[in-house]
């Protein structure tokens, strides 16, 4: 029902988690069978914390993708769907679906944190295990923080690949190990410097570059879609690359004053080391859901980080006093 690649994708990251918990369980069972007043649970949990930190991220980082794959396979293969339904009714599954069972490892560490906290409440402060339990609780919380941070970084990397693959003639060096996706906005160009007056553009903001793309029409040139190859249709990209700009080249960010005839307009004054003159890019946001102030503040902070300026407050102040009317 599943091929080798699908099996690895769904179950491949579970064995390391199972292995570390099995070793921890065996140590706890041995402790329970040889219990004394000086026995300590906290030391055992603390001992395995580094193993937990290594075992969990590969599974958690791709959990949502794994769920999507299972749903897709279940929808496409009736035999696999029927197998899951039959298995769900078995006593050992506790009437839980496959997806509900797979989320248990994601919930395991928070459950351990709650359990250690409860044990602490019933452990006298004079007991040797009290300090060890506190250390174990802090370490488990630290592991969860590390896993959450690692998950966010992984999602940002996946988003980077997704953006790169959706941009026609995108520079290969957009994908870099240090680069992180921050935000995107859809705009219309009001100047004639970047692409052309009236062009619909998308600005992808990363931690060190601004990728400027032209939005492509949803309609393609295939005259007879019914005859078109499915791969050809899927390979059509949503954007066309115009310019990948270093954030350090943004010299000024101008927030245009809001008037009855002028809404959501801002400008960027650009000059690289190779350019003799500054360029003025003027845009208006096309979506009312995008908050101009929030985006400009994020852009301002990003510029400050790249050029190593600590006076972020001053950057914001400069942003607000640079308001002009069209």
Going by pLDDT thresholds of 50, 70 and 90, the confidence category of residue 180 is confident
Mean pLDDT score, 120-134:
89
Residue 315 has pLDDT above 50, yes or no: no
Average pLDDT of the segment spanning 274-288: 88
End-to-end CA distance of the chain: 64
DSSP 65-105: HHHHHHHHHHHH-HHHHHHHHHHHTSGGGTT--HHHHHTHH
224: pLDDT strictly greater than 70: no
Q: How many CB atoms lie within 10 A of CB 163?
A: 21
Residue 317 has pLDDT above 50, yes or no: no
**Spatial separation of the C-alpha atoms in residues 9 and 79, rounded to whole Å:** 20
Give the pLDDT of residue 31: 93
Cα distance between residue 93 and residue 201, in whole Å: 51
**Under a CB-based contact definition with an 8 Å cutoff, are residues 70 and 99 in contact?**
yes
pLDDT band at 319 (very low <50, low <70, confident <90, very high): very low
Confidence of residue 140 (pLDDT cuts 50, 70, 90): very high
- The yes-or-no verdict on residue 212 having pLDDT over 90 is yes
Nearest to 280 by CA among 252, 259, 257: 252
**Total-model pTM:** 0.61
**What proportion of the chain, given as a percentage, has pLDDT over 70?**
89
pLDDT value of residue 64? 85
pLDDT tens-digit map of 18-69: 999 999 999 999 999 998 888 889 999 999 999 999 999 989 888 888 888 9
Domain 172-321 class?
Answer: mainly beta
- The pLDDT of residue 219: 53
pLDDT band of 285, cuts 50, 70, 90:
very high
Over residues 6-17, the mean pLDDT reads: 91
Residues 177-192: what's their mean pLDDT?
Answer: 89
What pLDDT shows up at residue 235?
59
- CA distances (Å), origin 16, targets 22, 61, 65, 150: 10, 14, 19, 17
Residue 320 reports pLDDT greater than 60: no
Query: pLDDT digits over 68-113, tens only?
Result: 899 999 999 999 999 999 999 888 888 888 888 988 888 999 999 9
Q: Would you place residue 151 in the very low, low, confident or very high pLDDT band (cuts 50, 70, 90)? A: confident
Please enumerate in sequence order all residues whose Cβ is within 8 A of that of 163, keeping only pairs 6 or more positions apart, or say none: 170, 174, 181, 204, 211
Q: Give all strands (DSSP E) within the chain, no chain letters.
A: 167-168, 181-189, 200-206, 209-215, 239-246, 250-255, 265-270, 279-285
Does the pLDDT at position 318 exceed 70? no
Predicted pLDDT of residue 113: 93
User: Residue 142's pLDDT is what?
Assistant: 92
Look up the CATH architecture of domain 4-164: Up-down Bundle (1.20)
Average pLDDT, the chain: 84
Tell me the domain boundaries of the chain. Answer: 4-164, 172-321
pLDDT in tens, 230-255: 444 445 888 999 999 999 998 888 88
pLDDT interval class at 260 (50, 70, 90): confident
Reported as a single tens digit per residue, the pLDDT across 161-179 is 889 999 999 999 998 888 8
pLDDT of residue 304: 87
By the 8 A CB rule, do 129 and 123 touch? yes
Q: Judge contact between 51 and 20, C-beta under 8 A.
A: yes
Residue 326: predicted pLDDT: 38
- pLDDT for residue 40: 87
């Amino acid at each position: 029902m599943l091929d080798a690649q699908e099996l690895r994708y769904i179950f491949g990251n579970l064995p390391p988690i199972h292995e570390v918990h099995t070793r921890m369980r065996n140590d706890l069972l041995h402790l329970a069978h040889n219990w004394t007043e000086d026995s300590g649970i906290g030391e055992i949990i603390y001992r395995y914390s580094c193993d937990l930190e290594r075992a969990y991220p590969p599974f958690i980082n791709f959990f949502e993708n794994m769920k999507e794959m299972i749903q897709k396979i279940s929808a496409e293969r009736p035999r696999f769907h029927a197998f899951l339904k039959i298995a769900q009714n078995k006593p050992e599954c506790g009437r839980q679906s496959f997806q509900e069972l797979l989320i248990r490892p994601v919930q395991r560490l928070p459950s351990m944190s709650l359990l250690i906290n409860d044990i602490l409440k019933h452990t006298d402060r004079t007991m040797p295990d009290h300090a060890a339990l506190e250390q174990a609780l802090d370490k488990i919380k630290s592991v969860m923080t590390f896993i959450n941070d690692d998950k966010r970084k992984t999602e940002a990397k996946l988003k980077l690949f997704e953006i790169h693959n959706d941009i026609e003639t995108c520079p290969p060096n957009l994908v870099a190990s240090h680069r992180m996706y921050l935000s995107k906005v859809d705009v219309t160009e009001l100047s004639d410097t970047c692409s052309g007056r009236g062009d619909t553009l998308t600005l992808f903001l990363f931690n060190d570059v601004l990728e400027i793309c032209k939005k492509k029409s949803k309609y393609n040139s295939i005259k007879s879609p019914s005859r078109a190859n499915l791969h050809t249709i899927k390979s059509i990209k949503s954007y066309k690359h115009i310019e990948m700009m270093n954030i350090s080249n943004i010299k000024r960010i101008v927030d245009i004053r809001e008037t009855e005839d002028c809404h959501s307009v801002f400008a960027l004054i650009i000059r690289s080391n190779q350019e003799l003159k500054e360029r003025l890019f003027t845009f208006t946001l096309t979506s009312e859901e995008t908050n101009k102030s929030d985006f400009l503040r994020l852009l301002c902070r990003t510029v400050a980080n790249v050029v190593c300026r600590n006076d972020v407050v001053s950057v914001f102040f400069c942003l607000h006093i640079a308001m002009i009317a069209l």
